[in-house]
Homo-oligomer: A and B are copies of this chain.
Amino acid sequence: MLKLIPKIRPRRPTRSYAAVLAPRNESYAKVMQSDLLAFENFLGKDAVQKDDITNHTTDWTGQFKGHGSVVLYPKNTEDVSAILAYCSRNKIAVVPQGGNTGLVGGSIPVHDEVVLSMNKINKQFTFDDTMGILQCDAGFILEDLDNKLSKLGYMMPFDLGAKGSCQIGGNIATCAGGIRLIRYGSLHAHLLGLTVVLPDEQGSVLHLGSAIRKDNTSLHTPHLFLGSEGQLGVITSVTMTAVPRPKSVQSAMLGVESFKKCCEILKMAKSSLSEVLSSFEFLDEAIMECLKVNLDLHPVLNKSTPFSILVETSGSNEDHDMEKMSAFLEECYSKQLIVDGVLAGSSADATKMWKLRESAPLAVTRDGYVYKHDVSLPLESYYELTNVMKERCGDLAKRVVTYGHLGDGNTHLNITSAKKNEELENLMYPFLYEWVVAHGGSISAEHGIGQLKLPYSTLGKESEERLLTKKLKNIFDPNAILNPYKMI
């Protein structure tokens, strides 16, 4: 494996990451009674919620709490335009919010920003089942879209734990990843067009891109909204491709003795399983132990090994896929890359395997307090991070466990302790993120920056790039009212 850039930047002297969140920017207007009346006037009374709004000002983990006083429920693009025009003219800060399933506080107000909920923009849905092109309102829940497509032989090209609550608009705004990126690519592979409303004084409505697969007639501006975390504009409609729904899904669990072998297996899977490979997930011994102790979930393999790999294929022909998977397993054995391996013989078997991977986030929470991480690393450093952190945290950590999307280089390293522990935190941060950047990784693979990673968001970023993103932000949001105090 050739080593890729890792332009390892010189370690800077330890910086101060203290200024976690900016104080309220007093140039933003406070929402007054007259504003609420104006909102009611142009949206209707039922679209303005003033009481019981904590489930919109707090994230589902309870980690982030804003204290906005109002949630607005636009019903369509025009309502969003009216809201943003009003707020821009009156310099009222706004935070757009989809399913509120994020893990970094990106859709939660920091201070008293107005929450613009997309919950009611979920009516328009069209699908071209020859070209596989979907066009829908941004407030649709991912799972609902997938169910609709299922009846037409298609599926959404990504899948993640929050699918029952997250919305497609939020998925675009965060460039959601998930467990099948290795097969279907990131959302960049599928995005064709967006309707967005800009937070300018006109609440400009822009139709960007188109509903065709090839269109080279202008800058490809929709892609700038992928991962923009609600800081450029509010997405109200999405046009994207879906993928044919697989008719056969096979899963296998492999027991592996070294991390190096995990990487060799990945390389082999890409070559042997090739077009049917749809997931390549990773669990270490520590998370397996955590699943057993905290959730009474037991390994499906007989032998305990330092690493487990969960491989999934998705294809159109069960016989072919089973044959490919069997040949792959045999190759793994014959090359002595695995010491144990099980091919799911039934959907119950597969469910048991996936339950282990999918329950990992829950298992760690039972330890007490969890320091969750979502970072990307070149494979040569992927598991080294776990070892480094294990040694660094020593007895202060109750557990240091790792699971993740090995096929994408995305690791979810979790460090638990009985309760929040400042000494442990000081050992971990900023060290962990500096280490990741120094090793050519990303401090946020798929969760984004939001509030959680704001202190570290400039790590490894060059000043030219930061300046560019600021200039871009300024074009879209000249009064800087949209989702302030965050990434840009």
Residue numbers of A with Cβ under 8 A of B are: 1-7, 126-133, 135, 153, 174-175, 177, 181, 185-186, 188-191, 204-208, 210-221, 223-224, 226-228, 232, 239, 244, 246-247, 263, 266-267, 270-276, 314-317, 320, 323-324, 376-379, 405, 408-410, 440-449, 453, 457, 461-462, 464-466, 468-469, 471-472, 475, 487-488
Beta-carbon nearest neighbor of A277 in chain B: B244
B488 and A212 within 8 A (CB):
no
Q: Name the distance in Å between A259's Cβ and chain B's nearest Cβ.
A: 12
Q: Name the distance in Å between A104's Cβ and chain B's nearest Cβ.
A: 9
| Known pairs A133-B4, A191-B188; A468 contacts B213 (CB<8 A) | no
Residues on B with beta carbons closer than 8 Å to the beta carbon of A216 = 174-175, 177, 227, 442, 444-449
B133 and A220 within 8 A (CB):
no
Residues on B with beta carbons closer than 8 Å to the beta carbon of A457 = 217-218
Question: What are 29 A-B pairs with beta-carbon distances under 8 A?
Answer: A2-B126, A4-B131, A4-B211, A5-B239, A7-B207, A130-B263, A130-B267, A131-B379, A181-B214, A185-B189, A185-B190, A188-B188, A205-B464, A206-B462, A206-B464, A213-B409, A216-B227, A216-B445, A216-B446, A217-B449, A218-B461, A219-B224, A219-B227, A219-B472, A220-B228, A272-B316, A316-B324, A317-B323, A472-B472
B188 and A214 within 8 A (CB):
no
B126 and A218 within 8 A (CB):
no
Cα-based distance from A60 to B5 in the complex (angstroms): 36
Residues on B with beta carbons closer than 8 Å to the beta carbon of A213 = 181, 186, 376, 408-410
A221 and B275 within 8 A (CB):
no
B244 and A212 within 8 A (CB):
no
| Majority secondary structure, A binding face | loop
Cα-based distance from A461 to B131 in the complex (angstroms): 23
Contact of A207 among B130, B218, B274, B462 (CB under 8 A): B462
Residues on B with beta carbons closer than 8 Å to the beta carbon of A468 = 206, 221, 475
Contact of A244 among B214, B220, B244, B270 (CB under 8 A): B270
A214 and B446 within 8 A (CB):
yes
Residues on B with beta carbons closer than 8 Å to the beta carbon of A276 = 275
Residues on B with beta carbons closer than 8 Å to the beta carbon of A317 = 320, 323-324
A177 and B219 within 8 A (CB):
no
Beta-carbon nearest neighbor of A221 in chain B: B468
Cα-based distance from A468 to B219 in the complex (angstroms): 9
Q: Name the distance in Å between A152's Cβ and chain B's nearest Cβ.
A: 9
B131 and A214 within 8 A (CB):
no
Q: Name the distance in Å between A461's Cβ and chain B's nearest Cβ.
A: 6
Highest count of chain B CB atoms <10 Å: which of A6, A131, A449: A131
Cα-based distance from A453 to B469 in the complex (angstroms): 31
B218 and A465 within 8 A (CB):
yes
Cα-based distance from A355 to B453 in the complex (angstroms): 54
Residues on B with beta carbons closer than 8 Å to the beta carbon of A219 = 224, 227-228, 232, 469, 472, 488
Cα-based distance from A126 to B1 in the complex (angstroms): 10
Contact of A475 among B6, B273, B472 (CB under 8 A): B472
Q: Name the distance in Å between A39's Cβ and chain B's nearest Cβ.
A: 24
Cα-based distance from A317 to B377 in the complex (angstroms): 32
Contact of A189 among B132, B186, B378, B488 (CB under 8 A): B186
Q: Name the distance in Å between A103's Cβ and chain B's nearest Cβ.
A: 11
Cα-based distance from A113 to B89 in the complex (angstroms): 43
B274 and A315 within 8 A (CB):
yes
| Known pairs A175-B220, A216-B175, A271-B316; A128 contacts B2 (CB<8 A) | yes
Q: Name the distance in Å between A379's Cβ and chain B's nearest Cβ.
A: 6
Residues on B with beta carbons closer than 8 Å to the beta carbon of A487 = 218
Highest count of chain B CB atoms <10 Å: which of A7, A190, A271: A271
Cα-based distance from A378 to B212 in the complex (angstroms): 7
Cα-based distance from A457 to B376 in the complex (angstroms): 40
Residues on B with beta carbons closer than 8 Å to the beta carbon of A244 = 270-271, 274-275
Beta-carbon nearest neighbor of A226 in chain B: B220
